[in-house]
Copies of this chain bind each other. A is one copy, B any other.
Amino acid sequence: MTSSDLQEQLNLKAMNLLQEDADKIEKLIEVQMENLATRYCPLYEEVLDTQMFGFSKEVDFAVRAGLIHEQAGKQILSRLERNLALLYEAMNNKENKE
């Protein structure tokens, strides 16, 4: 294997790992979205914030270690942040109606 093959393989692996972790947070967001109307768990917000913080440290490390481009890291984070913002907006709207 050449060094550029190895670099490509490591970069791909890193991106797949990050995507896996992003998917888990995405799943948490979806579950909470679905449960808005029925059972709301007040700890969800804290759990999501903690997960997002941990994930941002992972992404940051992957960028610093030269495994992913800064731009790719920003993209994966901002997608999650957007979905999280939608969830919080929905939660707020629900509270205001109650």
Question: Nearest CB to that of A65 among chain B residues?
Answer: B14
| List of B residues within 8 angstroms of A5 by Cβ | 3
Q: Give the number of residues in A that approach B within 8 Å (Cβ atoms).
A: 23
Q: A62-B65, A64-B17 are in contact. Are A53 and B50 (CB under 8 A)?
A: yes
A41 at interface, CB cutoff 8 A: no
What copy number does this chain have within its complex? Answer: 2
| List of B residues within 8 angstroms of A6 by Cβ | 3, 6-7
| List of B residues within 8 angstroms of A7 by Cβ | 6
Q: Which of A1-18 contact B (CB under 8 A)?
A: 1-3, 5-7, 10, 13-14, 17
Q: Mark A27-62, 1 if CB is under 8 A from B, else 0.
A: 000000000000000000000001001110110111
- Are A65 and B10 interface neighbours, CB within 8 A? yes
Contact of A57 among B10, B14, B57, B65 (CB under 8 A): B57
